[in-house]
Amino acid sequence: MRQTAELLDRVRAALRGRTVAEPGLPYVAPREPGAPGSAQGRIDLFRRKFEALGGTFLAGPAAESVIPALGELLRAEGVTALFFPEEDPASRSLADALVPCGPFLLVSPADIRQAEPPVSAGIQSAEFAIAESGTIVQTSRGGTSLWPGLASDVHVCLLSPDRFLDGMEDCLEALSGDPPRSISLITGPSRTADIELTLTMGVHGPRRVIAVLPSS
């Protein structure tokens, strides 16, 4: 109960833009020593947290520079189809560049909802990346679909160097002025141990999450 109360206080404080100071229940947000505070510090911490949770992190001077490695990872997962939100030109460009590496077929979200869908990779740009937890944040702002991060076998997330934040409070504050209708928080591949305490990947979402960070 104490952890739940602390979490709720933290969310309320972020939404109000002030610090919680209730007698008997002080809250200090966890920060890893030496990390955040700088752009590169946030990226480095995010990468450590993301990979510790089972994510795959690819970085290069441009999105095109990671195409061969990304194509190899997708082939190893048996991916045959790629899809992306129509409102996301960066993801469309990445998907187009990946097609010859499969070869992969570009499909629509409707094709993924078939009774027997192809093994797919959903590609989408992230709104934010939270360093302290290795979490990818995607929202429905601008009518953007969240389907690529929810219904694909492999989720490929395109990151931007200027969208890394220190913690969840910073994310909530950034979204508070114009709250989106839907928010998706992705912290590693989908997993559950509900059945006989056996860890199973990909039950409620993608079995693998790949973050792509071009430096320019």
- The predicted-structure confidence for 141-154, as pLDDT tens digits, reads as follows 888 889 999 999 99
Here the tokens at position 39 are 């752009």
Give the separation between CA 176 and CA 27, rounded to whole angstroms: 21
Q: Is the pTM of this model over 0.95?
A: no
The domain made up of 34-214 has a fold known as Rossmann fold (3.40.50)
Identify the CA nearest to 105 among candidates 143, 63, 74, 67: 74
Task: Show me where the domains of the chain are located.
Answer: 1-30, 34-214
Could you tell me which residues are beta bridge partners of residue 210?
A: 56, 156
Check whether 193 has a pLDDT greater than 50.
Answer: yes
pLDDT at 33: 45
Contacts of 210 by beta carbon, 8 Å cutoff, 6+ apart: 55, 56, 57, 58, 70, 73, 154, 155, 156, 157
pLDDT at 203: 62
Q: Are 105 and 80 in contact (CB under 8 A)?
A: yes
Could you tell me which residues are beta bridge partners of residue 185?
A: 137
Contacts of 117 by beta carbon, 8 Å cutoff, 6+ apart: 81, 111
Here the tokens at position 3 are 């952890």
